[in-house]
Amino acid sequence: MNKTRWISVLAVCVLAACQSPAQEQAQQTAAAIQEAMKSYGPPMVDTSDGGYVLQAVIDGKPWKATRMMEINGSNEHLIRGTGDEVQLGFYIDSEHPYLGRERPLGEGSSADLMIGDGSWHAVKGGYTIDKVDPGSIEGRFHFTAQKFQSSETLEVTDGTFRAVPKGS
């Protein structure tokens, strides 16, 4: 019985150590950034069939943003949406859109995903801009995401977006 007690104590200590101070600090910093974005970042707008749209299949499950970051002069290259405990965002080159040609997402071309309190980043993938006019920018995307400090991956497929620049 004494041996079992020591194994249990050791297991509790190991599990407690899994939440390192650095990881706790990173989570606190991420929470502070999210709070600052809510208070001081660009406004969020509701998605709609004729307006802003961001949707994808994440790890085999359909997802649709209910709110997106409004496109304005300070963030004209950022597609970002939230809904159902998921945040998804990536940068596009809207100045040189190369219509119909896939551009990279992954290392060096940021795409981020938060599911609950889990943080993921694109390791490979791409986006394609299909339409650009003064009233909207539309396209498709996909990427393989890797969980922060883990080798765990998931697929983001069949993604589509539409953003409506401010003033349109």
Mean pLDDT to the nearest integer, 38-65: 90
Q: Greater confidence, 61 or 37?
A: 61
Question: Is the pLDDT confidence value at 80 over 80?
Answer: yes
Question: Is the pLDDT confidence value at 168 over 60?
Answer: no
pLDDT of residue 72: 74
Of 30-34, 44-48, 51-55, 92-96, give the lowest mean pLDDT range: 30-34
Q: Greater confidence, 22 or 62?
A: 62
Question: Is the pLDDT confidence value at 35 over 80?
Answer: no
CA 18 to chain centre: 25
Categorize the per-residue pLDDT at 165 as very low, low, confident or very high, splitting at 50, 70 and 90: confident
Count other Cβ atoms within 10 Å, centred on residue 116: 7
Question: Is the pLDDT confidence value at 77 over 50?
Answer: yes
Mean pLDDT of the chain: 83
pLDDT of residue 75: 66
pLDDT tens profile 85-136: 999 999 998 778 789 999 999 877 789 999 998 999 999 999 999 999 888 9
pLDDT of residue 106: 80
Q: Greater confidence, 34 or 132?
A: 132
